Structure 1
Amino acid sequence: MAVRWFYLAVLALSSLGLMCILFTIYWMRYWHDGFAWDGTMLMFNCHPVLMVTGMVVLYSAASLVYRLPQSWVGPKLPWKIGHAAMHLMAFILTVLGLFAVFKFHNHSKIPHLYSLHSWLGITAVFLFACQWLLGFVVFLLPWASLQLRSLLKPFHVFFGASILSLAIASVVSGINEKLFFSLKNGTSLYSNLPGEADFANSTGMLVVVFGLLVLYILLASPWKRPELGMQAERQALLRGGE
């Protein structure tokens, strides 16, 4: 039963993550004319899609690798490599997202990093880079002792969840900021909740629900890789026991 509930949660999470990406793409295509890689506003439109895909959805998928029951048995190294590789892919998409917005700002002579949204985002990316490097050096390379890994693991878990929380806060504030800019000179005020505002706010709520479910599975659920000495309980869960 426990495994069944886990995979139901994974199915719900996968659906929510895909919806977050598709809703963001639709928002940029339908209300803001699509995408390009030329320094214009169409290049900026790549920014929210890349950040939601990389910093939220793919980052979350990488963080949940060790919640898969299949990762609880056998060698841990392949799962470590998968965990690190997925995070690296998420980081590459994130860097591309940052490049898109910085390139647009340079092209349009807009100052960089002046809003709370940008401060939250750049902090999340900086911590993400530090987190990945620390994880690679301490947890993936074979030189670190078990004592050092045990000492740093709680911090690694804490900052992993904190980075996701910062990313969600950055996405939500970015959606709000984009709506204020795009609707301030329009015929429909933001306060009247025109179609774009309604859709974008709904996208933000999807991101929030997705992030809360990820944090629950990471921090509060019983679906965690058992520590040494819990072989019997692990095998019972893999057989579907409670």
Structure 2
Amino acid sequence: MAMKNYRQFLFLLVAVVSVGFVSIVFVLQWVLYFKEGLAWDGGLAEFNWHPVLIVTGFIFIQGIAILVYRLPWTWKCSKLMMKFIHAGLNILAFAFAAISLVAVFDFHNAASIPNMYSLHSWLGLTAVILYGLQIALGLCVYLVPIIPESMRAVFMPVHVYSGLLIFTSVIATALMGITEKLIFGLKNPKYKDSPPEATFVNFLGVLIMVFGALVIWIVTCPAWKRPNEQLLSSQPTSGGDATRTMGGTVLSICSTTDWNDPEANCDTRKRNNKPDQSGQRSTV
């Protein structure tokens, strides 16, 4: 099945992956060149794991997890497999975020710095907690077979909205944290004097914002939504497939319905019960 505006989608997908990778390179360059590097010793080098893991996991991997359903190359895969991939990436991103919090609290406790006093810390911890609840509810609702399809359909708008809300909140919180770190960390010269580190990290913040904007653009475009029924443009099989010829091209409809998608089943039933041009109902 052809995707509408495929070239535009491909361009934006390459852009979002490229910007995400460059953001990871920037945050690594920041902590390895301008800061004390990476270690797990309770010092500043341990704190540096926080921005690295947040940008890599909580932002980049979470963004990719949001986009997996939009990839046209996966439309032939079963919906259940895509659910496992989506859930696996989100769990990985949550693990990165949790480890980054451990690094922050460990550093603060070793340096006798108070915890949870800034707005950045309040929003950051809230985002991690909500993200964990989002994953837990998603696993229960969409991967537990006994959950009725009606409940899944009702919960879907909430799941989508809360996912995007958490993603944008994480980006906003990360930008707050970057600014906070520069203000507290730059002494001579100070942040207001625009030293090279400040300029470099400001560009990192711009990259993170662009990455988030591209992800939201792709995921909110209706034309790029995963179809409810997969149309395979492969060679016709010997049995079980319904084929039709349009302009000399044979289109093959997958004979196995994705029973994990209630919308797909509903669309299939409606189409099968729709009268054809001769006034009779199709039995395909």
TM-score by length of 1: 0.91
Secondary structure at the counterpart of residue 171 of structure 2: helix
Query: How far, CA to CA, are the matches of 1:75 and 1:58 in structure 2?
Result: 22
Give the aligned CA root-mean-square deviation in angstroms.
Answer: 1.7
Q: Which amino acid aligns with 1:104?
A: F
Amino acid at match of 1:7: L
Q: 2:73 & 2:80 partners in 1: Cα distance?
A: 13
Paired position in structure 2 for 1:75: 78
* Partner-residue secondary structure (3-state), 1:149: helix
Tell whether the 8 Å contact from 2:53 to 2:96 is kept in structure 1 after alignment.
yes
Give the share of equivalent positions with the same residue, in percent.
43
How far residue 190 of structure 1 moved from its aligned partner, in angstroms, is 1.5
Partner of 1:60: 63
Query: In the alignment, which residue of structure 1 is the partner of 2:210?
Result: 209
Deviations along 1:60-118, one digit per CA (max 9) or x if unpaired, are: 11111100113333421111111111111111111111111111011111111111111
Find the aligned partners of 1:52 and 1:74 in 2 and give their Cα distance. Answer: 29
Distance 1:18 1:175 in 2: 18
Report the TM-score, using the length of structure 2 for normalisation. Answer: 0.78
User: 1:201-240 alignment to 2 at 5 Å?
Assistant: 201-220=202-221, 222-227=223-228
Following the alignment from structure 1 to structure 2, what is the Cα–Cα distance between the partners of residues 158 and 21?
26
How far 1:14 sits from its partner (Å)?
A: 0.7
Where in structure 1 are there 5+ consecutive unaligned residues? 233-238
User: For 1:183-224, what per-residue CA distance to the aligned partner results, in whole angstroms no more than 9, with x for missing partners?
Assistant: 1x31x2222211011001110010001001101111235211
SS of 1:222's partner is: helix
Q: How does 1:1-242 map to 2 (within 5 A)?
A: 2-183=5-186, 185-186=187-188, 188-220=189-221, 222-227=223-228
Secondary structure class of the residue paired with 2:39: coil
Check the 8 A contact 2:19/2:207 in 1, yes or no: yes
In structure 2, distance between residues paired with 1:67 and 1:38 = 41
Determine which structure has the larger strand proportion and give its number. Answer: 2
Q: Which has the higher relative contact order, 1 or 2, with Cα contacts under 8 A spaced 6 or more apart? A: 1
Match of 1:236 in 2: none
- Cα deviation, residue 53, structure 1: 0.7
Does the 8 Å contact 1:84/1:136 carry over to 2? yes
After the TM superposition, which parts of structure 1 deviate over 4 Å for at least 4 consecutive aligned residues? none
Radius of gyration: which is bigger?
Answer: 2
User: What amino acid is aligned across from residue 154 of structure 1 in structure 2?
Assistant: P
Kept in 2, the 8 Å contact 1:51–1:94? The answer is yes
Alpha-carbon distance in structure 1 between the residues aligned to 2:139 and 2:18:
30
Contact 1:135 1:156 in 2 (8 A): yes
Mapped contact 2:171–2:209 kept (Cα < 8 A): yes
User: What is the Cα deviation at residue 8 of structure 1?
Assistant: 1.7
- Aligned partners of 1:100, 1:205: CA distance in 2, in Å? 25
Gaps of 5+ in 2: 233-250, 252-284
Q: Judging by fraction of residues, say which structure has more helix.
A: 1
Q: How many residue pairs were aligned?
A: 230
Asked if structure 2 preserves the Cα contact closer than 8 Å seen for 1:84 and 1:132, the reply is yes
CA contact (8 A) 2:183 2:191 kept: yes
Do the aligned residues in 2 keep the contact of 1:120 with 1:169 (CA within 8 Å)?
A: no
Q: Could you tell me which amino acid in structure 1 is paired with residue 223 of structure 2?
A: P
Code of the residue aligned with 2:23 in structure 1: it is C
